[in-house]
Amino acid sequence: MIQMVMGDAVEAVEKGQSLLLDGFPRTMEQAVALDKNLDVDLVINLCIPNETIIERISDRWIHSASGRVYNYSYKPPKVMGLDDETGEPLVQREDDKPESVLKRLQKYEMATAPLVKYYEEKGVIQTFAGTESDVIYPNVKRWLDHQLAGDEAATV
């Protein structure tokens, strides 16, 4: 995995450009290997309550034939349970069901808790908590803008 990331990033790194790695590393082994190749100097940790994540993911339903995705929280179909274009039934993927999402979250938390601690000890992590991206995003952007501008005193 590290070789793949570095293969894609080598040109940017050589130019002194910053990289944004979304969802990586996911394990301590990956974090240690990444540190051998790159100077990880900023880490953003989004802390979203499990209930919020479960609700959003379990509200997702799809039209299998086309791949159209609906979400009952913010992009519902015109008719409950039916595809807007064909009228065919929508289905919920097994891994979008609440019990599956909870299991995935528990596994994720077990894997990432050591990463959060690792980056806390390195002093490079900033955690943002909330339930709405419209609220969290401005704080993340403000902090990141300050960090990238070299303003070490910036806090949120």
pLDDT by residue for the chain (156 residues), tens digit each?
Answer: 666 666 667 777 778 777 788 888 988 999 998 888 888 889 999 999 999 999 999 999 999 999 999 999 989 999 999 999 999 999 999 999 999 999 999 999 999 999 999 999 999 999 999 999 999 999 999 999 999 886 444 444
DSSP state of 66: T
b/e 68-87 (16+ beta carbons within 10 angstroms → b): bebebeeeebeeeebbeeee
pLDDT at 78: 97
pLDDT for 21 equals 84
DSSP three-state, residue 52: helix
Lookup: tokens for 113: 């808790």
Predicted TM-score (pTM) of the model is: 0.77
Q: What is the pLDDT of residue 2?
A: 62
